[in-house]
């Protein structure tokens, strides 16, 4: 422990600041994870600065506006009145007591980890680090990221030669503290409050773990401390790979049940009445979001370093990746039964968000489906209440405007990909010539226009 001039250890001083809500917190990445987290801390009275390289986001926040549907502008304005501020200037890192990194960790075109956001963020903050700061990484990644990627960059890049505290070391005035605490956001979910989701924390050394636990304990009802950042990183991957594998299972069984003429949704409803040993998962047109389609590949990539092939995980990924193409095939077959070809057919895709009632396009299966339909010669339009326009992303370039729902009869097929609650499915079926439903959104509606896939 390193005492200051008053004999108080640096770590105790930071812990006291956290307890009294005087600790200055910098949250890097004002997206779907970072902004809600910053608002939670602001609500507890912490002075918060949001950092983001996107000037448009910074300007919106400073004007009290929101660009995320589930975050109301009133929340941001309330935070601003409590002192919340946003900036693109990383020099402000020097004045923070705690720095929390919430930046994307997508896959590249070869489905390998793209660490560029973490690397660039670490390089940007390293020159401004000062002794005694706590740095927490929340971005989902493979086990070892904190120690193998983040820490070396921070140590090389800071001007004072600071080192990260490790077990048995004396950091304090001569270094900084590092921890990993995976985000557990579930956009669109309203039955569980954010502060009710337990927070897993792995410190690079025990003091870092204690400081991070004290920090997150101020806004979460329960914290779960684990021995190392790698354990916390693997915990996050396990949570999402568990979902990925089970979704792949039900997707495969759905395809079998379609051939067998069995209503698989009825099967799930019956199975979930069992009070033990079963948890319901639901099939769909593919996986989307920032975690489930990505995390398995992070672990598979890392496993190769240990000469280990994660066959089970990779198989699940392959099954889920094929679901968008199954949907396109179902549209082709449905049109064929009406003596129409997909080439030249007018198809309206309903929903481009990766799941219902959110404004998030990341890894959305709708994007793959639209591109595949276009490749087959279909004239594709889309409608989504959350997206007036879909332009260009990391792996897509659509340049499309949201279509109206006023003339459903003008399309050869209405394809339900995202089952938003705002859609009037009775009307959609009534006014469309053909409805292909990949989400079971029209269950209960009797019509020979509907094809479930």
Low-confidence residues of the chain, pLDDT below 50? 1, 3-7, 172
Question: Which of 102, 244, 291, 413 is flagged as catalytic?
Answer: 291
Domain-located, residue 4: no
Beta strands in 213-327 (DSSP E): 223-226
Question: What is the rounded CA–CA span in Å between residue 157 and residue 163?
Answer: 10
> Are residue 79 and residue 184 in the same domain, yes or no?
yes
| One domain, residues 300 and 447 | yes
Does residue 156 share a domain with residue 81? Answer: yes
Residue 5 lies in a domain: no
Q: What pLDDT score was predicted for residue 290?
A: 74
What pLDDT, in 10s, does the model give residues 21-47? 999 999 999 999 999 999 999 999 999
Task: Kindly state whether residue 236 falls inside one of the protein's structural domains.
Answer: no
Among 179, 211, 227, the domain boundary falls at 227
Q: Are residues 39 and 183 in the same domain?
A: yes
Query: What does each C-alpha distance from 132 to 96, 129, 135, 148 come to in angstroms?
Result: 10, 9, 10, 21
Dist. CA 173–CA 162, nearest whole Å: 9
Half-sphere exposure of 327 (CA within 13 A, CB side): 35
Measured CA distances, 118 to 141, 151, 165, 229 (Å): 10, 11, 20, 15
User: 70: domain CATH number?
Assistant: 3.40.50.720
3-state SS, residue 358: coil
Q: Which residues contact 79 (CB under 8 A, 6 or more apart)?
A: 38, 39, 42, 43, 48
Residue holding tokens 């396990």? Answer: 238
Last residue of a domain, one of 165, 193, 227: 227
Identify the pLDDT of residue 186: 82
The tally of domains found in the chain comes to 2
Is residue 297 included in any domain, yes or no?
Answer: yes
Shared domain for 304 and 426, answered yes or no, is: yes
Q: For residues 59 and 187, state if they share a domain.
A: yes
Is 257 one of the catalytic residues? Answer: no
In this structure, the answer to whether residues 274 and 181 fall within a common structural domain is no
Residues 219 and 257 in one domain: no
In the chain, what is the greatest distance between 2 CA atoms, to the nearest angstrom? 85
The pLDDT value given to residue 170? 52
Range of the domain at 296: 251-452
Same-domain status, 150 and 195:
yes
- Looking at residue 169, its pLDDT comes to 56
Q: What is the pLDDT of residue 314?
A: 93
Residue that finishes a domain, picked among 192, 227, 262: 227
CA dihedral 133, 137, 142, 145 (to 10 degrees): -30
- Tell me the per-residue pLDDT of 410-447, one tens digit each, with 9 for 90 and over: 999 999 999 999 999 999 999 999 999 999 999 999 99
For 181, other C-beta atoms within 10 Å of its C-beta total 27
Residue 238 within any structural domain of the chain: no
Sequence-ordered strand ranges (E) for 132-233: 134-137, 163-164, 175-180, 199-203, 223-226
Helix, coil or strand: residue 262: coil
Whether residue 2 lies inside any domain: the answer is: no
Same domain, 39 and 72: yes
Do 204 and 309 lie in one domain? The reply is no
List, in sequence order, every residue forming a beta bridge with 397; answer none if it has no partner.
Answer: 392
Residue at 166 is within a domain:
yes
CB atoms under 10 Å from CB of 44, counted, come to: 12
Residue 389 DSSP symbol? E
Task: Give the per-residue pLDDT at 327.
Answer: 98
- Are the beta carbons of 285 and 331 closer than 8 angstroms? no
245 domain residue, yes or no: no
The number of beta carbons lying within 10 Å of the beta carbon of residue 66 is: 16
Whether residues 261 and 214 fall in one domain: no
């Amino acid at each position: 422990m390193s005492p200051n001039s008053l004999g108080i250890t640096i770590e105790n001083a930071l812990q006291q600041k956290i307890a009294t809500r005087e600790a200055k917190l910098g949250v890097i990445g004002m997206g779907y994870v970072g902004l809600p987290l910053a608002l939670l801390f602001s609500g507890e009275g912490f002075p918060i600065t949001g950092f983001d390289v996107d000037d448009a986001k910074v300007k919106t926040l400073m004007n009290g506006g929101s660009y995320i549907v589930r975050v109301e502008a009133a929340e941001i304005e309330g935070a601003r009145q409590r002192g919340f501020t946003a900036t693109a200037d990383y020099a402000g890192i020097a004045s923070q007591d705690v720095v929390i990194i919430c930046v994307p960790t997508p896959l590249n075109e070869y489905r390998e980890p793209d660490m560029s956001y973490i690397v660039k963020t670490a390089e940007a903050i390293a020159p401004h680090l000062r002794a005694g700061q706590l740095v927490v990484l929340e971005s989902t990644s493979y086990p070892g990221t904190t120690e193998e990627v983040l820490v070396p960059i921070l140590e090389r890049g800071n001007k004072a030669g600071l080192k990260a505290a490790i077990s048995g070391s004396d950091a304090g005035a001569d270094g900084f503290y590092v921890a990993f605490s995976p985000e557990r956001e579930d956009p669109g979910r309203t039955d569980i409050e954010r502060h009710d989701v337990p927070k897993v924390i792995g410190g690079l050394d025990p003091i870092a773990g204690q400081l991070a636990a004290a920090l997150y304990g101020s806004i979460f009802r329960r914290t779960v401390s684990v021995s190392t950042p790698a354990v916390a990183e693997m915990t996050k991957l396990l949570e999402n790979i568990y979902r990925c594998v089970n979704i792949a299972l039900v997707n495969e069984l759905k395809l079998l049940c379609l051939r067998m003429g069995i209503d698989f949704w009825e099967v799930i409803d019956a199975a979930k009445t069992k009070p033990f040993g079963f948890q319901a998962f639901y099939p769909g047109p593919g996986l989307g979001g920032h975690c489930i389609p990505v995390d398995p590949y992070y672990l598979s990539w890392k496993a190769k370093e240990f000469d280990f092939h994660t066959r089970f995980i990779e198989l699940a990924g392959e099954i889920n990746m094929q679901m968008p193409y199954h949907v396109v095939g179902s549209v082709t077959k449905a049109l064929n039964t009406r003596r129409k070809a997909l080439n030249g057919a007018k198809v309206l895709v309903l929903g481009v968000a990766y799941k219902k009632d959110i404004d998030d396009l990341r890894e959305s299966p709708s994007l793959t489906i639209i591109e595949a339909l276009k490749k087959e010669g279909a004239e594709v339009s889309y409608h989504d209440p959350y997206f007036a326009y879909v332009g260009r992303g990391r792996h897509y370039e659509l340049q499309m405007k949201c279509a109206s729902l006023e003339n459903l009869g003008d399309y050869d097929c209405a394809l339900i990909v995202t089952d938003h609650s705002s859609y009037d499915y009775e009307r959609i079926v009534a006014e469309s010539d053909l409805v292909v439903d990949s989400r079971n959104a029209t269950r209960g509606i009797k019509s020979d226009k509907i094809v479930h896939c």
